[in-house]
Amino acid sequence: MITVAILTVSDKGSKGEREDVCGPLIADILKLIGANLRSYEILPDEKDLIKKKLIEYCGKVDLILTTGGTGLTPRDVTPDATLEVIDREISGITELIRSEGFKKTKRAALSRAVAGIRGNTLIINLPGSPKAVRENLEIIIDVIPHAVEKIKGDTTECAKP
């Protein structure tokens, strides 16, 4: 079973000025792979706070999914915080998301989302819109369990005969 923390990054959401739809949506979608939600928080768009929370959850959960703060505004700092805490980037995940997303909207090219590993925890940034969260997770949901297994040290062969 994959253990998960969800971090919604939203200034308005953290102040109670906007209902967070994305965090609960992520939790629902992750049920498809039998994931166990351990934590869900809403944070403001503050790089140091995001970094602190990412570091806090690493090693305690297998997967951290963030939602929000992946765009181009000055307050969109989630990818920057993620890059500062990961040990290794997994660019294939975000390349796949952007590539498939680009088929639906040219705006997918504007995503700065990052995916990577810190210790034995997989971190993936998702956008802050419910539609984009659903579409992005549909693209990568099947690779998440395999990625987590490998990060945790599974050494079985990946190639199929």
Please say if the pLDDT value at position 154 is more than 80: yes
Structure tokens at 14: 């953290």
Report the alpha-carbon distance of residue 152 to residue 121 in Å, rounded.
8
Could you give the angle at the alpha carbon of 43 between the alpha carbons of 98 and 152, nearest 5°? 60
Q: Considering only CA atoms, which of 131, 127, 139 is closest in space to residue 10? A: 127
**Superfamily for the 3-9+19-35+45-151 domain:** MoaB/Mog-like domain (3.40.980.10)
Pairing of strands 115-118, 88-89: antiparallel
pLDDT at 159 over 90: no
> Hey, where are the domains in the chain?
3-9+19-35+45-151
Q: How many CB atoms lie within 10 A of CB 19?
A: 9
- Alpha carbon distance 78, 64 (integer Å): 12
pLDDT tens by residue, 15-61:
999 999 999 999 999 999 999 999 999 999 999 999 999 999 999 99
Statement: residue 156 has pLDDT above 90: no
Residue 161 has pLDDT above 90, yes or no: no
